């Protein structure tokens, strides 16, 4: 295609690519922020755990704290 319509087509393709890139970046950033927030909230909800993935059984935590 030649003329103004071919330029418009390329401009629309570039707009679609730019919008898609922006949306993907936003979704990835949001997913990372949500994952961090969920980890932080879970860690806060579990008493006595510096890192919630490394929890000791409840009995061991209380035995250590009261010894």
pTM above 0.75, yes or no: no
Residue 17 DSSP SS3: helix
CA distance 33 to 23: 15
CA-based radius of gyration for the chain: 25
Please give the chain's pLDDT, 67 residues, in tens: 566 767 788 889 999 999 999 999 999 999 999 999 988 887 777 765 666 566 666 666 566 555 4
Task: Give the pLDDT score at 17.
Answer: 94
Encoding tokens for residue 51?
Answer: 């890192």
Q: Give the Cα-Cα-Cα angle 65, 43, 32 (nearest 5 degrees).
A: 160
């Amino acid at each position: 295609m030649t003329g103004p319509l071919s330029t418009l087509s390329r401009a629309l393709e570039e707009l679609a690519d730019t919008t898609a890139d922006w949306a993907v970046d936003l979704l990835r950033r949001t997913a990372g922020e949500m994952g961090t927030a969920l980890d932080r909230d879970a860690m806060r909800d579990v008493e006595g755990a510096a890192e919630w993935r490394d929890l000791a059984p409840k009995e061991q935590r209380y035995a250590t704290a009261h010894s």
